[in-house]
């Protein structure tokens, strides 16, 4: 029987002439290749390996013919954290090597991008997990205190959305309408992050964040219209775009009050 890694190399070279970016691959073939890469990682690090699992679309079973391979290799060592990411002609793979202490610290963090980044720690398909580390990792992500999420939401509103509104109003003031589509997309994306944080929901992917956010409860006023505007791609009417963003910002201000989030400091200079 041929060595699995040799088979993977053979598949790579057989398709090399078709390369020009990602090429289609059957899910069964991608899973076989992923297991081969995972075995290689385990052989490389030996007894240091605590667990290995898939994350991303391949782990969730939502991968398409052009999806890449993403693998999490958890190490018993401390303080380690590095990534090996490469393209092999028609396919791409990434293996993240993390000491368990580093990974657990990452999992416990809550920032503005939490709804997008932490799905990688929640939706893991174990390939090797004798000590059941991945269920523990999922629990750490989903059981952080409420105060962390409130702090992340306030930081998002003050540090991102408020600044975007200022840029939007400057663009309107100076007539720089060419930049409005970028501003409205960013505003809608931060809105999706805000809704995700409020619901402690990890989106399955960035491309699905908008549609998933519209199914979550407690959305700020104006968000739905803004989100659907971006999803529809009709961003060539400056007045319509600005109006949707302003309506959303007004909705965020009211929404923040209902959650006890104070946007303005009680003193004009807080230090």
N-to-C CA span, the chain: 70
| Distance, CA of 270 to chain centre | 33
Q: What is the CA radius of gyration of the chain?
A: 22
Which one is catalytic: 10, 163, 239, 265?
Answer: 163
Other Cβ atoms less than 10 A from the Cβ of 248: the count is 27
17 annotated active-site: no
Enumerate the active-site residues.
163
């Amino acid at each position: 029987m041929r060595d699995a890694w040799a088979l993977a190399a053979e598949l790579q070279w057989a398709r090399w002439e078709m390369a020009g970016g990602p090429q289609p691959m059957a899910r069964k073939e991608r899973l076989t290749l992923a297991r081969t890469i995972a075995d290689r990682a385990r052989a490389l690090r030996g007894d240091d390996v605590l667990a290995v699992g898939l994350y991303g679309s391949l782990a969730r079973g939502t991968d398409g013919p052009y999806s890449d391979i993403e693998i999490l290799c958890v190490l018993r060592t401390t303080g380690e954290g590095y990534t090996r990411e490469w393209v092999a002609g028609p396919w791409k793979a990434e293996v993240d090597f993390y000491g368990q202490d580093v990974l657990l610290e990452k999992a416990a963090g809550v920032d503005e991008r939490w709804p997008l980044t932490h799905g990688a720690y929640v939706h893991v398909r174990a390939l090797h997990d004798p000590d059941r580390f991945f269920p523990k990792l999922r629990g750490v992500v989903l059981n952080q205190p409420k105060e962390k999420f409130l702090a992340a939401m306030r930081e998002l509103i003050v540090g991102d959305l408020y600044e975007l509104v200022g840029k939007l109003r400057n663009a309107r003031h100076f007539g720089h309408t060419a930049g409005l589509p970028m501003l409205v997309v960013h505003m809608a994306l931060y809105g999706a992050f805000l809704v995700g944080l409020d619901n402690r929901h990890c989106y399955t992917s960035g491309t699905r964040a908008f549609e998933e956010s519209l199914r979550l409860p407690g959305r700020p006023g104006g968000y739905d219209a803004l989100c659907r505007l971006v999803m529809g791609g009709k961003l060539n009417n400056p007045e319509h775009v600005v109006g949707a963003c302003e309506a959303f910002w007004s909705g965020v201000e009211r929404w923040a009050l209902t959650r006890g989030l104070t946007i303005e400091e009680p003193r004009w200079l807080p230090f």
